[in-house]
Amino acid sequence: MSKKPKIYIIDVTNRDGVQTSRICLSKLEKTMINLHLNELGVFQSEFGFPVTKHETNYLNANLELVEMGALKPIRLGGWLRAIPKDVEDAFKAVPKLKHVNLSISTSDQIIVHKFQGKLDHKSVINEMISGVKRAKSLGAESIGVNAEDASRTRLEYLVEFGQAAKEAGAARIRYCDTLGYDSPSSIYERISKLADAVKIDIELHCHNDLGMVVANSIMGAKAVNDAGFNAYINTCVNGMGERAGNADLVSVILAIKYGSGLAGEYQLDEKIDLKKAWKLCKYASYAFGVPIPINQPGIGANAFAHESGIHADGALKDRRNYELYDFEELGRGDPEIIETGRQITAGEYSGIKGFRNVYENLEVEFKDDKEAAKVLELVRYANVHNQKPLTKEELRFVAKHPDIAKKIFTMTP
């Protein structure tokens, strides 16, 4: 290997994040998150489920944003079951799909106790191979193959599965610690063996059921890099994700950049720009309706707060006394301005006068009354769609891309 392998981020907020019980995102919110992730320099956003009917218009509209250059250079990847029928349905519904991850379970537990005879170890691999080949023939440019429950999969079988995926044309395999069962040492050891045997780039998809998600993701990525291959860590904004969540996007980036034995030794995708983190995390918190804990790394209200005498004195003398990284690096430090006087807001039942006032305050101008009326109508729909006040950036998005917005709001059950 002449080139030093790197660590890339594949964010799965719009897939695992929205799969989380009790919380959801509107299609407009998912779109805004894709735009934010692009600004932050994330390699790929797993943007949704191409065979799920209510996602179709959103997915197609976001791929139009890619074509227009509004979502660039980020890749948008769809999540599918590794079944040829799903692959066909996906490309039928979302013809411009270019990047996919095909998922199937590989552990004895799931194969025996969930598939219950429908699939055995051999047919799991065969299904996956035909899924990969079908996706290739339908125009997929990059394919990741997900081994669900990989951490509880017999290693020999995982290697066999990985080799078959590679031969079929997969670019990466995704090692899923679906239950959050791994520990930093177990994942390092298993991934080292897997990467050595299969010789392929590997994604780390970890869960936080035992509170080790970031450490596991990092140690897994380290093992992939140490074996000479690129690692792709799956993250979620604010650590959302099923049950106890996935690896928090910001924590993962901070750990690679500042962790002992990692900083300077391992190469994070240089497109990553943490300055966009604050805005993204605040937006995602608002969109999900889930507050950011005050002790969340980098982003929490207390991440740069010092009170005890010794620490406050030290931090004031030299920030490096008690801070590993600067708040400015995360895009923090600007005061937030909150309107305390009269406010005209835009909602489901807004009229043209108030609506124009809202956009004047955003310094957005319309060509003529016709255009203003069109955007007003869309903003009403956007409010029905989101069921909460629109943010300034959402209002700007609707005015800038009215036709895309219209597609995103369109749903025909």
Piece of the chain touching Zn ion by CB under 5 A; list 12-20, 27-35, 191-199, 322-330: 12-20
Applying CB under 5 A, does 148 fall inside the site for Zn ion? no
Piece of the chain touching Zn ion by CB under 5 A; list 8-16, 23-31, 328-336, 347-355: 8-16
Piece of the chain touching Zn ion by CB under 5 A; list 14-22, 145-153, 301-309, 381-389: 14-22
**Of the two residues 16 and 394, which places its CB atom closer to Zn ion in the complex?**
16
Tell me, letter by letter, the H, E, C secondary structure of the chain.
CCCCCEEEEEECHHHHHHHCCCCCCCHHHHHHHHHHHHHHCCCEEEEECCCCHHHHHHHHHHHHHHHHCCCCCCEEEEEEECCHHHHHHHHHHCCCCCEEEEEEECCHHHHHHCCCCCCCHHHHHHHHHHHHHHHHHCCCCEEEEEEECHHHCCHHHHHHHHHHHHHHCCCEEEEEECCCCCCHHHHHHHHHHHHHHHCCEEEEEEECCCCCHHHHHHHHHHHHHHCCCCEEEEEEHHHCCCCCCEEEHHHHHHHHHHCCCCCCCCEECCCCCHHHHHHHHHHHHHHHCCCCCCCCCCCCCCCCCCCCHHHHHHHHHCHHHCCCCCHHHHCCCCCCCCCCCCCCCCCCCCCHHHHHHHHHHCCCCCCCHHHHHHHHHHHHHHHHHHCCCCCHHHHHHHHHCHHHHHHHHCCCC
- Report in angstroms how near the CB of residue 236 gets to Zn ion at its nearest: 9
**Of the two residues 103 and 350, which places its CB atom closer to Zn ion in the complex?**
103
- Report in angstroms how near the CB of residue 12 gets to Zn ion at its nearest: 7
Applying CB under 5 A, does 16 fall inside the site for Zn ion? yes
Q: Shortest Cβ contact with Zn ion: which residue?
A: 16
Applying CB under 5 A, does 55 fall inside the site for Zn ion? no
Piece of the chain touching Zn ion by CB under 5 A; list 10-18, 95-103, 291-299, 387-395: 10-18
- Report in angstroms how near the CB of residue 294 gets to Zn ion at its nearest: 26
- Report in angstroms how near the CB of residue 314 gets to Zn ion at its nearest: 40
- Report in angstroms how near the CB of residue 297 gets to Zn ion at its nearest: 21
Piece of the chain touching Zn ion by CB under 5 A; list 11-19, 302-310, 320-328, 345-353: 11-19
Applying CB under 5 A, does 177 fall inside the site for Zn ion? no
- Report in angstroms how near the CB of residue 13 gets to Zn ion at its nearest: 11
Total residues contacting Zn ion by CB under 5 A comes to 1
Residues at the contact surface with Zn ion, assessed by CB under 5 A = 16
